[in-house]
Structure 1
Amino acid sequence: MKIIRLVSLSSSPDIDIHPDSALILPGRPLFMPEWGEGWVASLHPSVRIGRLGKNIARKFASRYYDGVSLSLRVTLRECAGLEGVLSGMDSSLVNGAWLPAAHAQDGATVQVSVSDVPVFESVSEPIAPTVDEVIANVSEYMTLKMGDVIMLPPIAEPVDLKEGSRISALLDGETVVDLRIV
């Protein structure tokens, strides 16, 4: 399984690959890293690949993902020179619960709260056209397999992480991320 994070949207993909060891298993807490200061979590719309494909035409790309969610990526606010290290860091990504791919077709309501205090709320545009383009572009360079995850660029300002807090993210009113920080 590959976790492919788009750094930016462009015709030639600017991507970063994360190992599967970066994922925090569902229901597990995030343990704050003991090194570095200024840890934050960025919120990314994500899709899960549901079938094998290489050189996928844009018009067929919607057939290749079966789930939509939000993902949190843990990083340092100031990470000059550490970007590669942070991309490979264990337990630095949280994938939310997967909703049907149909949620990508319509605009979605996204709400984020930290310890029950709302920090972000927005109605996003449909992501399906962007996802279709991304799948077509990325599949030129690598084979997409069942279970691969594609993370789009962040949709909100990073949220500061503090021990003892809880981050919740809702997509269309359904809780997809509920992360405890210890």
Structure 2
Amino acid sequence: MKILAIDNEGHVHAAADSAVVTRSQPWFEPDQGAPWHGEAYIAAIVSRLGKGVAERFARRYYDSLCVVIHPRPAVAGSLYEWTRDGSILMGDHIPVDNLADKTKVSVGEASYPVDIARMLGMFDRLLCDVAEHHTIKTGDMLMLPLTEIQPVALKRPLTLDITLGETRVMRLKVR
């Protein structure tokens, strides 16, 4: 499984599959690097095999989205921010067809508007770029930052509900 993320500065990062923490697992705050905050991303989950995909066909290669929280130390700069275990907190997958063009992502009490139609266009372009150089496979994940959402402090003990549209996709537990 490939996990590729574009950060707010436009850099591409690759993460190992051991970086993924699923919805039901808590995230354990590391002792080093405190304080920690979480940045929100939205991820497209690849649903079929492909290489050299044209942009007009890109939408056929993913069928669900999920919200991802990427924990980072408040003082960024570590070479291992994306490669360490537990660096991607992944929520439930929501079928693209079930999402409105304009929806919201809620992190705790704060709610932020998200233009899903614009994000899908960005995923189409990203998928084409990736598929030009790599074979994309079922289960691969492409992540884009949700720049509208402010980073959230990840301080133990914390339980935070995250929703996409009206569906709760994650209950983040920081231990």
Normalised to the residue count of structure 2, the TM-score between the two structures is 0.92
Q: Pairwise mapping of residues 117-132 of structure 1 onto structure 2 (< 5 A)?
A: 118=109, 120-125=110-115, 126=117, 127-132=119-124
* In structure 2, C-alpha distance between the alignment counterparts of 1:8 and 1:170, rounded to whole Å: 22
Secondary structure of 1:67's aligned partner: strand
Paired residue type of 2:81: L
Aligned to 1:171: 164
- 1:40-99 per-position Cα deviation (integer Å, ceiling 9, x unaligned): 11110111000011111000000000111100111112112x1x2111111121111001
Aligned to 1:93: 88
1:26 Cα deviation after fit: 3.2
* In structure 1, C-alpha distance between the alignment counterparts of 2:133 and 2:102, rounded to whole Å: 29
1:9 Cα deviation after fit: 8.0
Q: What's the % identity of the aligned pairs?
A: 27
Secondary structure of 2:80's aligned partner: helix
Normalised to the residue count of structure 1, the TM-score between the two structures is 0.88
* In structure 2, C-alpha distance between the alignment counterparts of 1:54 and 1:133, rounded to whole Å: 14
Task: Return the match for 1:78 from 75, 80, 84.
Answer: 75
Aligned to 2:19: 22
- 1:81-134 per-position Cα deviation (integer Å, ceiling 9, x unaligned): x1x211111112111100102256612211110xxxx1x312211221111111
Task: Return the match for 2:40 from 36, 39, 43.
Answer: 43
Residue segments in structure 1 that go unaligned for 5+ positions in a row: none
Residue segments in structure 2 that go unaligned for 5+ positions in a row: none
Paired residue type of 1:4: L
- 1:122-178 per-position Cα deviation (integer Å, ceiling 9, x unaligned): 221122111111111121121111000111023312111110111211011100111
The size of the alignment, in residue pairs, is 172
